[in-house]
Chains A and B, each alone.
Chain A
Amino acid sequence: MLIKTLLILLALIGLAVPIAASLGWLGLILQWTDSPMPLHRAISDMAWQTSTDFLLVAIPMFVMMGEILLRAGITERMYDGIVKWLGWLPGGLMHSNIGSSALFAATSGSSVATAATIGTVAVPQIKKRGYNESLFLGTVAAGGTLGILIPPSINLILYGLLTNTSVPELYLAGFLPGFLLALLFMATVVVACMIKPEWGGEQLRHTWGERLRALPALIPPLGIFMVVVGSIYAGLATPTEAAALGVVASMVLATMNGKMSIDMMRQAIEGTMRTTAMIMLIIIAAVFLNFVLSIIGLTQALTDFVTGLGWSPMQTMLMIVAVLILIGCFMETLSMLLTMAPLITPIVVALGFDPVWFGILLMVLLETALITPPIGINLYVVQGIRKGGPMIDVIRGALPFVITMFVMLALLLIFPQLALWLPSLVY
């Protein structure tokens, strides 16, 4: 049953059948072959409950917030502002790439949007200031992945939904690892530039006066971040309510910057609804597949199989991490999250690991997947912005950051408190 399921899934996904249809048909096929009951009758109820779930209302709202902020005219000023604060470090603008990505990621759930937006502002600086092109492109690709981990992350909401884990708790857990990873990325740049000083390009000196004058440019994204994440952490709002606040706040910001218009909102809406419809269709199919898998006992069989191998929990966890890194080389992140989380989380919990902690570990694995070849969407996004030059430059430039991510994974495995300490203060 296990092998059959895996083969059908691989065949469907390999034939480029849309992920939603792959998951849905896998559920339908399994219920015909393995279940005496007509499980498909439950689809209507599941589709309705999932479609109107207040928790998931956060998805279109966070997407919309990001779409509006993208058009609110804050990115370039934010980038310049961060340059003034971080430009003196060895590696100069590369730190601004990571810092801006972290800040932009905090307000936008999309890694592609983060890498594309920061990349568009940053890439022209490579030649102007004499950076090592490869490493510079790597910082843009890697920085863009931070959106998955730093709250408010849509991926964490999806993980919470599929594994019955509290989303506010996940958001608290993601906070420290997210910013630690951003710091580790910056440390990677510093180390690289100490080994090869000629990679570092021009270091930019700014006075404290310039820095202070740059602060107002950082207030909008920080303000939005405070409104959204702060209201969740302060217990003022649920994630969905915070997302609603974020939409309103971003509309206010766009209005203040003179960017608000019917045309702008129309574009934001089209982007939002295209993404939302795509995600929700996959979720409905994934919820149905989950239900079928647990009724026919496959989830249990898989858990029994893995725990029956007689490995220690840590050995099993390392195996899971290795398998997920491998899968991440070939699969797009959203599909990977929605297929893997429901299958693997029960195993992990049965081994005695904390599901909140595993959620964070999984996010770092998804981030890794974004910049590991051959299928790492951020690599392609950065290559696309650059227009010209061999792809291998970007892959090579991202490699140090893949290693940094491995370090982050190791840190999470050795010190689970990194993720669990903040939630433990509150819950």
Chain B
Amino acid sequence: MGGADVLPSPHRYSLRFPDMLDKLFNGTRTLSLWMTWLAGTLIVLSAFLVTLEVFLRKAFNISLGGADEISGYAFGVATALALSYALFERGHIRVDALLGAIPKVLHPFINLLGLLMLSGFALVVVVMVWSMVGDTLDNGSRSITPMRVPLAIPQIPWLLGWIFFVFSGVLIALVAIRQYVRGDEAGVQNLIGVKSLDEQIEDETV
């Protein structure tokens, strides 16, 4: 796996002037994809773990115990790891019913506003979670289940996923602003615009 040019997305961002920002952008994007593969693998493994638990419980009346708790953590971490990928793919739902009524010239600003508000809300979450994870570490908190899992183990990667999400948002915003200044309207649209219907259909089918 090399840079962004081998990404499977058909709507990849095209590079014209490779520089530091582009390198950072491509690296972040590639990393977000790897994190998503890791996240999906966690979900698949959880599915097998839970299936095994159900099977053992029904067939042999044996309980592994904790499959639900572990898959819960895996789910939380997996979701956080994939937040950034969904952002690069413009997968966070927006309602564009009224956009048609707004002059096209303003669309880049509206798209940027949407992105910044999403990242801003995530930043509020990160700040709050940061202090929660701090408390977890200070107190050595464990889960209140028979497994007594040290909560820092799932919470730290979970927090990292959220931080990476905010970071990606800021980065995308910077690249979008630069492309806007350069007059690359299509580039801005590919980075932060609302997905067109054809793109959505392409996402949902094989």
The reply to whether chain A is a binding partner of chain B is yes
Binding site for B on A (CB under 8 A): 12-22, 24-25, 28, 40-41, 43-45, 47-48, 51-54, 56-57, 60-61, 64, 70-71, 110, 112-113, 116-117, 120, 231, 236-237, 240-241, 243-245, 247-248, 251, 265-278, 280-282, 284-285, 330-332, 334-335, 374-375, 377, 380-381, 384-385
Q: Are B85 and A44 in contact (CB under 8 A)?
A: no
Q: Are A43 and B124 in contact (CB under 8 A)?
A: yes
Q: Are B94 and A274 in contact (CB under 8 A)?
A: no
Question: From DSSP, what is the main secondary structure of chain A's interface residues?
Answer: helix
User: In whole Å, how far is A31's beta carbon from the nearest beta carbon of chain B?
Assistant: 11
**Option from A18, A113, A270, A335 in Cβ contact (under 8 Å) with B36:** A270
Q: Are A381 and B54 in contact (CB under 8 A)?
A: no
Contacts of A247 in B (CB 8 A): 43-44, 47, 51
**With an 8 A cutoff between CB atoms, is B158 at the interface?**
yes
Alpha-carbon separation in the docked complex, A33 to B94 (Å):
26
| Chain B, residue nearest A11 (CB) | B98
Q: Are A384 and B201 in contact (CB under 8 A)?
A: yes
Contacts of B72 in A (CB 8 A): 52-54, 57
**With an 8 A cutoff between CB atoms, is B63 at the interface?**
no
Alpha-carbon separation in the docked complex, A281 to B132 (Å):
19
**Do A277 and B85 contact each other (CB < 8 Å), given the known contacts A21-B120, A271-B203?**
yes
Q: Are B47 and A47 in contact (CB under 8 A)?
A: no
Contacts of B6 in A (CB 8 A): none
The listed residue with most A CB atoms (<10 A of its CB), out of B41, B93, B122, B155, is B93
Q: Are B98 and A14 in contact (CB under 8 A)?
A: yes
Contacts of B110 in A (CB 8 A): 15-16
Alpha-carbon separation in the docked complex, A5 to B8 (Å):
41
**Do A277 and B82 contact each other (CB < 8 Å), given the known contacts A16-B194, A20-B121, A48-B158?**
yes
* 6 A-B pairs in the complex with CB atoms less than 8 angstroms apart: A52-B72, A60-B79, A240-B50, A272-B40, A276-B43, A330-B97
Alpha-carbon separation in the docked complex, A40 to B126 (Å):
12
Q: Are A16 and B114 in contact (CB under 8 A)?
A: yes
Q: B74-89 CB contact bits vs A (8 Å, 1 = yes)?
A: 0110111111011001
The listed residue with most A CB atoms (<10 A of its CB), out of B33, B58, B99, B206, is B206
Contacts of A47 in B (CB 8 A): 125, 128-129
Contacts of B78 in A (CB 8 A): 60, 273, 276
Q: Are A248 and B118 in contact (CB under 8 A)?
A: no
User: In whole Å, how far is B111's beta carbon from the nearest beta carbon of chain A?
Assistant: 8
| B residues 1-47 touching A (CB-CB < 8 Å) | 8, 33, 36-37, 39-41, 43-44, 46-47
Q: Are B201 and A48 in contact (CB under 8 A)?
A: no
Contacts of B47 in A (CB 8 A): 61, 64, 243-244, 247-248
Q: Are A44 and B129 in contact (CB under 8 A)?
A: yes
Alpha-carbon separation in the docked complex, A3 to B31 (Å):
44
Q: Are A274 and B85 in contact (CB under 8 A)?
A: yes
**Option from B82, B131, B206 in Cβ contact (under 8 Å) with A70:** B206
Alpha-carbon separation in the docked complex, A61 to B79 (Å):
12
Contacts of B96 in A (CB 8 A): 16
Q: Are A116 and B194 in contact (CB under 8 A)?
A: no
**Do A112 and B200 contact each other (CB < 8 Å), given the known contacts A18-B117, A244-B47, A277-B85?**
yes
**With an 8 A cutoff between CB atoms, is B198 at the interface?**
yes
Contacts of B185 in A (CB 8 A): none
Q: Are A384 and B197 in contact (CB under 8 A)?
A: yes
Contacts of A278 in B (CB 8 A): 86, 91-93
Q: Are B124 and A277 in contact (CB under 8 A)?
A: no
**Option from B53, B83, B124, B205 in Cβ contact (under 8 Å) with A113:** B205
| Chain A, residue nearest B88 (CB) | A274
Alpha-carbon separation in the docked complex, A330 to B206 (Å):
28
**Do A21 and B117 contact each other (CB < 8 Å), given the known contacts A278-B86, A331-B95?**
yes
Q: Are B118 and A20 in contact (CB under 8 A)?
A: yes
**Option from A53, A244, A269 in Cβ contact (under 8 Å) with B50:** A244
Q: Are B121 and A21 in contact (CB under 8 A)?
A: yes
**With an 8 A cutoff between CB atoms, is B113 at the interface?**
yes
Q: Are A51 and B79 in contact (CB under 8 A)?
A: yes
**Option from A25, A45, A335 in Cβ contact (under 8 Å) with B93:** A335
10 closest Cβ contacts across the A-B interface?
Answer: A269-B40, A51-B76, A244-B50, A273-B82, A247-B47, A44-B128, A24-B121, A44-B132, A52-B72, A277-B86
